[in-house]
Amino acid sequence: MNILDYPDREMLAIDLANHLAGELEAALLTHETVTMAVPGGTTPGPVYDSLCAADVDWHRVIVLPTDERCVPQTDLRSNARLIGERLLVNRASAARFLPLYVEGAEPEDCLAEIEATLVPNLPISVLVLGMGADMHTASLFPGMPGLEAALDGDAPALAVARPQTQPEARITLTGPVLDGALSKHLIIYGEAKRAALERAISMPPEEAPITAVLDGITIHWAE
């Protein structure tokens, strides 16, 4: 686990976006298409604002959320909305987007399509994650029902019932799919999340799901 400290969030966003663009282009040297999984939440937007303009062969990039809130894409909580508005614009609008949730469907009914479209495009080449102060990542929440299957299961994605701390049901990529990414990045802001990450290192994944994906990850931190 490698931690990079940045002087501020703007520098983090610009530097990380440049680095991610380089990783995508490097992967495209040896693959016809590459897969990038990215988070929702309040953290990644500035990275997307910079990455969307990068000179990448975006038409050969498949972008999907690390997890999704089961709400309409018009809902402000939707990760597909965030990714569509902040990342899949400018040059990156040429990328192919794989949604996890289909509006109006039951979350469980979305899993077969996810498996059919995602599995042929695994492993993830470039993974970006966020983390909650409760040490969750994607929608792998401490103590949530079905967490064991989400951490260790064979399925590439699972529908998870509404976590106690969240207002909606979720669909999440599972631990092995996330951990199997060829390049992994975690973005965290502030002292509270940094302290939570340092506590997580000595905790089991059931209590700190972020630990399921820390092997070989690069942490990008700013105050």
Ligand X SMILES: O=C(O)[C@H](O)[C@@H](O)[C@H](O)[C@H](O)COP(=O)(O)O
Binding to ligand X by residue 42, rule CB under 6 A?
yes
- The correct pick among 67, 142, 173, 200 for binding ligand X (CB under 6 A) is 67
* Stretch (H or E) spanning 26: helix 9-28
Residue nearest to ligand X (CB): 130
Distances (CA, A) of 131 to 11, 41, 122, 135, 147: 19, 9, 23, 6, 16
Nearest CA to 98 among 63, 140, 53?
Answer: 63
Tell me which stretch binds ligand X (CB under 6 A): 13-21, 41-49, 55-63, 112-120: 41-49
Interacting stretch for ligand X, rule CB under 6 A, among 1-9, 21-29, 35-43, 156-164? 35-43
- Answer for which of 35, 39, 173, 181 binds ligand X (CB under 6 A) is 39
Q: Reduced to 3 states, what is the DSSP secondary structure of residue 173?
A: strand
- Can you tell me the distance from the alpha carbon of 89 to that of 181, in angstroms, rounded to the nearest whole number? 24
The two tokens of residue 164 are 């106690």
CB of 74 to ligand X, least distance (A): 16
Classify 187 in phi/psi space as left (phi over 0), alpha (psi -120 to 50) or beta: beta
Is 66 an interacting residue with respect to ligand X (CB under 6 A)? Answer: yes
CB atoms within 10 A of CB 145: 13
User: Closer CB to ligand X, residue 59 or residue 191?
Assistant: 191
Q: Which residue of 13, 16, 19, 40 would you call a contact of ligand X, by CB under 6 A? A: 40
Q: Does 209 bind ligand X (CB under 6 A)?
A: no
Residue type, 218: T
Binding flag, residue 132, ligand X (CB under 6 A): yes
Least Cβ distance, residue 188 to ligand X (angstroms): 8
- Applying CB under 6 A, does 107 fall inside the site for ligand X? no
Name the residue nearer to ligand X (CB basis): 62 or 135: 135
Tell whether residue 179 is a contact of ligand X (CB under 6 A). no
Stretch that binds ligand X, among 48-56, 124-132, 143-151, 198-206 (CB under 6 A): 124-132
Tally Cβ neighbours within 10 Å of residue 168: 15
Beta strands in 44-199 (DSSP E): 61-65, 67-69, 96-97, 126-129, 157-160, 170-173, 183-189
- Candidate segments 37-45, 46-54, 85-93, 113-121, binder of ligand X by CB under 6 A: 37-45
Residues that bind ligand X (CB under 6 A): 39-43, 66-67, 79, 130-132, 137-138
